[in-house]
Amino acid sequence: MVDDIHEREFDFSNADFEKIRRFIKDETGIKLSDGKKNMVYGRLSRRLRQVGMSKFSDYFDMVSANESSDERGQFINAITTNLTSFFREEHHFEFLKKDVVPRLMAENASTKRIRIWSAGCSTGEEPYSIAIALHESIPDIDRWDIKILATDLDTNVLAHGERGVYDIERISALSKMRKATWFLKGKGAKGGSVKVDSRLQSLITFRQLNLMGAWPMKGSFDFMFCRNVVIYFDKDTQRILFDRYANLLSSSANLFLGHSESMHNVCDRFNLIGNTIYKKIK
């Protein structure tokens, strides 16, 4: 990787970029390619100006040394806004497969009905990952009535998700088995892209939704993903949202939040049971 020759306001070496992308991979599961260097510089330059620092190395040392600092959250979110990946924060999907799905299969055995909400779904990698996890953990899934509601405010990212077509680089971190089972590689001019399997698409409905507005759905949802969304709202707004989520979730349903989000001193209707995994209090 070659350093850019363009004049920059701040020095940003390859070593600085390597430290940052290793940190982001460890913290969020997102792999930043070489081509993301300019993006990282642009987004973090704003943070350096905001905190009055002049060196990327000093800024990185500050945010990496203090796990609970507000700036650490700002740092991560500056880079990861509108960045998503398949099976991001994989521990959530492991918990889904090992704990949530077996419980729902037992509790909903008579109805064979499961309802899921992926809020702030961006370009669709999250709901498709949920759909894959469900297929991998429910042997007779064709006999179940399963629906995933995927919502976002941005109609462009929703259209992307609904198409289900991604650059092949987006699935580079997935196992060979998952790639072969759930993605169809394009041919000819489309050789650099993949399309998700129609079995996954059939489970998902993409809809525009403003979380601050009226919600047409009535629930109840058996579990919900709302990751890296509420971090952008103040505590009062978070309190309102969490309360509205609880009203739509079934008894003992799970709510999955993002890597830097918490309900601590915000909402008392959920118990923390794992790493950013909550369970609704009956």
What is the distance in angstroms between the CA of the first residue and the CA of the last residue of the chain? 53
SS3 79: helix
Q: Please identify every residue annotated as catalytic.
A: 43, 152
Contact of 253 with 281, CB cutoff 8 Å? no
Alpha helix (H) residue ranges in the chain: 14-28, 37-51, 56-65, 70-80, 90-95, 101-107, 125-137, 155-163, 176-182, 198-201, 235-248
Distance from C-alpha of 24 to C-alpha of 231, rounded to nearest angstrom:
17
For 81-120, what is the HEC assignment? Answer: CCCCCCCCCHHHHHHHHHHHHHHHHHHCCCCCEEEEEEEC
Contact of 134 with 102, CB cutoff 8 Å? no
- Output the CA–CA distances (angstroms, integers) from residue 102 to 92, 105, 218, 246, in the order listed: 15, 5, 25, 22
Question: Token digits for 264?
Answer: 């601590």
**Angle value at C-alpha 265, between 261 and 271, nearest 5 degrees:** 70
